[in-house]
Amino acid sequence: MTNSNKDVLEQNVSDLIESGGEAPKIAGVARTRIREGLVAKFAVATAEPARVKSRRPLFAIGLGFAATAAIALVATRFVHHTGEVAPLNATVQKLADGTTYIAEAGTEVTVLGPRKVRISGTALLDVAPGKGTFVVETQHGRIEVLGTRFVVEGLADKTSAAVVRGEVKLASSDGEVVLHAGEQAVAEPGRPPVRGPAPRLSHLVSWAQQARHAEEHDIASHHGTLFARDPGVRSHPPWGMEYPLPIAKLGLDITVEDQVARVALDQTFHNDAPQDLEGMYRFAIPPDAALQRLAMYVDGKLTESAVVERMRARRIYEELVYRRVDPALLEWAGVGRLSLRVYPLKAAEAVRRLHDHGAAAGRRPDGRADGHRGAAQGLRQLRSAVDESYDHDRAQRRRRGRHISPREREARRFVRAARPRHAASRDRGDGQ
């Protein structure tokens, strides 16, 4: 090849590369998701026992991470969880530094210092951030909060920890492991701590749910009210034709899986009126949330809904109301707003429960889930589920074919209407 040809070739190569521009890159969220998936699968499955560093000054090391310490330390039993529920009289206790905890029955929490406690049993803690490393000692282990929320159990024969968010370090005389979100570890005497995935974190902390809800009662105030009205459209001063029903029960559960935070909200309302009512439940969803699903539990059996054209859905709904069959109609009511109609809310003692599944935005400053409000009342237990999925990765949603932008959603004016599969006669007979 001559020098001239070489120059041409070099120039063409340069031109080609320049014309190529930036190569396609994997989306940031997908990149993270895949990395975490690989780490969870291979780092755990083949991990060697943690390094033995019995003489290592753990506290000094912990201080290095102290600057990252944030909020919320949750401590609870999660190994051999027996499903105990925290007693209703369990209350949130507060330490001098602002850290709070909820202790399970029989648990001893001893304050050893301003940022140091000893736990024998199971407790759920919220550690105040920015005040140095928070240390939890158990009989056979020591946990240093490196950031945010985790779960710990201190028993006589072992210490366990699981991380809900952020990082913690679980150390014993035989070694130490740093746990990241979604991981758990067990430390037993004579063995280094063993780390693994914690796929059921929400279940592990569920025992403290009631106590937490009691503390976080302000959540309820964010979730609105179920309005009811007579089918006969009579007036209810001072509310007009629609009036709010009292809420009898509220439950909230949050799980995080594959970058998707899902919120399950249970709300039970009571109908004091002497006649059946129709429920009107309006709620807002986060800007990037996507509604995934509407289903109803009828006599314990899940009944899926269908997506149909708006006016057709309304006709179906009205017809079912007329026939006294249990329908539910979910309508798009503008950007970020949805309206759910359910019928009937049975009179008097009847209870009807609505169960929402939503996805935590994860963007709310307080870290709580934005969710839905539910309502209803009936002669038997009736659960309706609304799944709202909030996905940080839009590409992931497109892949699943469920991503709909607010503009697209409004344009489509989609309507989801319940399509009960049970026989109308059976429902009418169920009216009792």
Partner 1 sequence: MTLFGRLFRRPVDADLAGAKAGDRAAIERFYDTNVDGLYAFVFYRVGRDAALAEDVVQETFAKALARTTDYDPTRGSHGSWLAVLSRNVIRDHLRAHQRSDDLQATWERIDATLAQTFAAMAERPLPGEVLERAETRDLVHMAIANLPEQYRNALTRKYVDGESLETLAGELGISIDATKSLLARARRAFRDTFAALSVHFSAEVA
**Minimum distance of partner 1 from residue 46's CB (angstroms):** 4
Helix %, strand %, coil % of the chain (to 5)? 20, 35, 40
Beta strands in 114-246 (DSSP E): 116-126, 135-137, 142-154, 159-172, 175-180, 183-187, 194-197, 226-229, 243-244
Taking only Cα atoms into account, the Rg of the chain, rounded to an integer number of angstroms, comes to 27
| CB nearer partner 1, residue 38 or residue 52 | 38
**Minimum distance of partner 1 from residue 18's CB (angstroms):** 5
* 236 DSSP assignment: B
Distinct helix (H) and strand (E) counts, the chain: 11, 22
Restricted to residues 380-399, the positions that interact with partner 1 (CB under 8 A) are: 395-396, 398-399
Q: Which amino acid is at 138?
A: T
| CB nearer partner 1, residue 46 or residue 89 | 46
**Minimum distance of partner 1 from residue 368's CB (angstroms):** 30
**Minimum distance of partner 1 from residue 22's CB (angstroms):** 6
Restricted to residues 4-63, the positions that interact with partner 1 (CB under 8 A) are: 5, 8-27, 30-31, 34-35, 37-39, 41-48
**Burial class of 253 by CB neighbour count within 10 A (0 to 12, 13 to 18, 19+):** middle
Contact between 258 and partner 1 per CB under 8 A: no
| CB nearer partner 1, residue 5 or residue 432 | 5
**Minimum distance of partner 1 from residue 65's CB (angstroms):** 16
Using CB under 8 A as the binding criterion, the count of chain residues that bind partner 1 stands at 41
Restricted to residues 398-427, the positions that interact with partner 1 (CB under 8 A) are: 398-399
**Minimum distance of partner 1 from residue 11's CB (angstroms):** 6
**Burial class of 277 by CB neighbour count within 10 A (0 to 12, 13 to 18, 19+):** buried
**Minimum distance of partner 1 from residue 403's CB (angstroms):** 11
| CB nearer partner 1, residue 16 or residue 60 | 16
Q: Which amino acid is at 63?
A: L
Instruction: Supply φ then ψ for residue 278, to 5 degrees.
Output: -105, 135
Contact between 3 and partner 1 per CB under 8 A: no
Contact between 107 and partner 1 per CB under 8 A: no
| CB nearer partner 1, residue 84 or residue 258 | 258
| CB nearer partner 1, residue 147 or residue 378 | 147
Q: Say how far apart CA 259 and CA 112 lie, in whole Å.
A: 38
| CB nearer partner 1, residue 315 or residue 398 | 398
Q: Say how far apart CA 394 and CA 408 lie, in whole Å.
A: 14
Q: Say how far apart CA 347 and CA 343 lie, in whole Å.
A: 12
Beta bridge partners of 168: 145, 179
Residue-level length of the chain = 432
What are 303's two structure tokens? 């009944």
State the residues that interact with partner 1 by CB under 8 A.
1, 5, 8-27, 30-31, 34-35, 37-39, 41-48, 395-396, 398-399
